[in-house]
Amino acid sequence: MSEAPPKIRIRGLSKAFGTKVVLDRLDLDVPAGKGFVVIGGSGSGKSVLIKCILGLIEPDAGTIEIDGRNVLAMRRSEREAVNARIGMLFQQGALFDSLPVWENVAFGLLARKMMRRPEAKPRAVEILAQVGLGPDVADLYPSELSGGMQKRVALARAIAARPDLIFFDEPTTGLDPIMGAIIDALIVAQVERLGATAFSITHDMASAQRIGDEIAMIHKGKIIWQGPADRIYDSGNPYVDQFVRGKSEGPITMEVRV
């Protein structure tokens, strides 16, 4: 029986900013329909990796295939069609603070002309309910919400267009442990409901285990380990072991400039 093709296949991905190499000929396969998590320390290249996949940063070399098609070689219109099937939850939510909550949630639906404004608001309220927010929130502005509520709205926006691939950038950053667990549970529930592939980056190990079926570790721009989430504390890789246990001693040295 042949193995299912990966949702995302990355080969030889490189990106440098000036003399600083952030991604160094990185290879990665993300299995379809699973929760995939990339862990790594600050400055290890996690955010640049996700931005390269989303087309927000142009890599220097390499290929990124989504569903077998190299997105880096696509025309703009083709790329937009691929992006229409992708959802993204940004680290700080990145909600549009000039728009009320319901317009934030329905933004992609309106932008892609999937529905008109009169139909979009009830649909946004439905989606807000799926992430545990009542209709009274719909007309508020993002600045009137708590951090946890903003994260829920951002999640609602990410799933509104029923994407089959969803990216999560540090989904629990800035939240207390209880709210972090709630957001993770919502992520898992919504990803399962949509049957989507979830690609997350985080350095929160509790979160990584809750939302990930498979985990990869990035270090100095390369994937140095990849395996099932339940093997993360038993990886046999000294870099992974030091990172997941938060040990100051080990092969990973922090570059500190004084």
Partner 1 sequence: MSALLDLLAAIGRGVFGLLSAAGSVAVFAAVALSHVVRPPFYPRLLARQMMEIGYFSLPVVALTAIFSGMVLALQSYTGFARFSAEGAVATVVVLSITRELGPVLAGLMVAGRIGAAIAAELGTMRVTDQIDALTTLSTNPIKYLVVPRLVAATIVLPLLVIIADILGVLGGFIVGVAKLEFNPATYMQRTWEFLEVQDVVSGLVKAAVFGFIIALMGCYQGYHSRGGAQGVGAATTNAVVSASILILTFNYVITELFFAR
Instruction: Report the interface residues with partner 1, using CB under 8 A.
Output: 51, 54-56, 80, 83-84, 86-88, 90-92, 94-98, 107-108, 111-112, 157
115/181 with CB nearer partner 1: 115
83/237 with CB nearer partner 1: 83
Tokens of 24: 């160094």
58/249 with CB nearer partner 1: 58
> Taking the complex as a whole, how short is the minimal distance between the CB of residue 103 and partner 1, in angstroms?
11
Report d(CA 42, CA 39) in Å as an integer: 10
> Taking the complex as a whole, how short is the minimal distance between the CB of residue 178 and partner 1, in angstroms?
25
> Taking the complex as a whole, how short is the minimal distance between the CB of residue 167 and partner 1, in angstroms?
8
164/213 with CB nearer partner 1: 164
Tokens of 33: 């329909």
154/229 with CB nearer partner 1: 154
170/184 with CB nearer partner 1: 170
16/114 with CB nearer partner 1: 114
> Taking the complex as a whole, how short is the minimal distance between the CB of residue 117 and partner 1, in angstroms?
10
Residues 6 or more apart whose Cβ sits within 8 Å of residue 90:
154, 169
- Rg of the chain taking only CA atoms, in angstroms: 19
> Taking the complex as a whole, how short is the minimal distance between the CB of residue 242 and partner 1, in angstroms?
30
> Taking the complex as a whole, how short is the minimal distance between the CB of residue 97 and partner 1, in angstroms?
8
> Taking the complex as a whole, how short is the minimal distance between the CB of residue 148 and partner 1, in angstroms?
17
